[in-house]
Amino acid sequence: MSRVLVLNSGSSSVKYRLLSGAERLASGMVDRIGEAGSPAADHGAALKTVATELADAGFGLDSPELTAIGHRVVHGGTTFTEPTLITEEVIKKIEELVPLAPLHNPANLAGIEVARRLRPDLPQVAVFDTAFHSTISPAAATYAIDRELAERLSIRRYGFHGTSHAYVSREAARAVDRPMGNVIVLHLGNGASASAVSAGRCLDTSMGMTPLEGLVMGTRSGDLDPAVVLYLERTGGMSPDEIDTLLNRHGGMLGLCGDNDMRAVEKRLAAGDPDAQLAFSVYCHRLRKYVGAYYAVLGTVDVIAFTGGVGENSSLVRETALAGLEALGIVVDPVRNRRGDRLISTDGAAVRVAVIPTDEELEIARQTLEVISRTNRG
């Protein structure tokens, strides 16, 4: 069985998983890269720590059984619409996309460059967060601003969490025996996004040019009147960096009630905390609105899938977000929902509701092997 090492190189951490098919052989994370006291001063040191941990687990990085390395890359722009075998030319193109993801793509590239030095003989594949959403139509991707300016600066909807949406939409369709069906995916973690998927193709997604747009998130505001940004600058006297921090790091649930952990919010909610009540209501209202919007985009819906830390674990979010949608054929069974069943809709409901644990690393490994297989056939 082929073994694939999946690497997710972030700005301050490297997560890894070694897979043989769907079996997890080893996994871990090296964090606090570059911080005082950290064992990893940079991504080179972090990857060497990964190699040591794999060797200690009996899976040396130099093992001949290792088939390929798959890398998560956040932004592929319009250049990369599918997983891609990494070459020098591909690296240059990923570098050109850094302005679209200045915090993420440089870290992803650092992991790629170190891994290629450690195993230059192995095929390595870039799997892009944005790629799954490349199938959305121009009508869904285009912002209503000056077209020439938008094209020059690559301003459009890209979408993120693509590996999760790809995996979960496929598994949800399988769960209801509709492999070519229509699926609404709600990926709810600290970051949150929704997508409308038909026959495995994404038609629309909530995140936009950046991961800030869309649903209310742990620390991100989600949808916002653009004039608020101008108002904060002109009247609030805030700089662009301060506004960026406000919306990305101090917005969302944290901004509304001081907690970005849904478990803490729900405890406060049960205690009657009015700030937690408002935050929770805003969060679920936005979710319900996107479910309705994507129902309209798809025309018919076979299954709604919840995933991510909040989506998989909060029965209260699932129940509240879908409340009042019975006329659309969406009815949650309260017992199944609280129990955390895979299917939580009532018998006979026109739209099934599923809880599908996401597995982005497995999806990256699968896509990596598909690229290797395609390359070998060619």
| pLDDT tens-place values along the chain, 378 residues long | 789 999 999 888 899 999 999 999 999 999 888 887 777 788 889 999 999 999 999 999 988 899 999 999 999 999 999 999 999 999 999 999 999 999 899 999 999 999 999 999 999 999 999 999 999 999 999 999 999 999 999 999 999 999 999 999 999 999 999 999 999 999 999 999 999 999 999 999 999 999 999 999 999 999 999 999 999 999 999 999 999 999 999 999 999 999 999 999 999 999 999 999 999 999 999 999 999 999 999 999 999 999 999 999 999 999 999 999 999 999 999 999 999 999 999 999 999 999 999 999 999 999 999 999 998 876
Amino acid at 155: I
CATH superfamily assigned to domain 177-355: ATPase, nucleotide binding domain (3.30.420.40)
Q: Are 109 and 12 in contact (CB under 8 A)?
A: no
Q: Are 109 and 143 in contact (CB under 8 A)?
A: no
* Helix count and strand count (H, E) for the chain: 15, 11
What does the domain layout of the chain look like in residue ranges? 3-128, 177-355
d(CA 203, CA 326): 24
- Give the gyration radius of the chain's Cα atoms: 21
In the chain, what is the greatest distance between 2 CA atoms, to the nearest angstrom? Answer: 63
Q: Are 317 and 253 in contact (CB under 8 A)?
A: no
Question: What's the N-to-C CA distance of the chain in angstroms?
Answer: 21
Residues identified as active-site: 129
Q: Are 335 and 198 in contact (CB under 8 A)?
A: no
Amino acid at 295: Y
Q: Do domains 3-128 and 177-355 have the same CATH topology?
A: yes
Q: Are 73 and 162 in contact (CB under 8 A)?
A: no
Topology given in CATH for the domain delimited by 3-128: Nucleotidyltransferase; domain 5 (3.30.420)
CA dist 6 → 15, 62, 341 (Å): 8, 15, 29
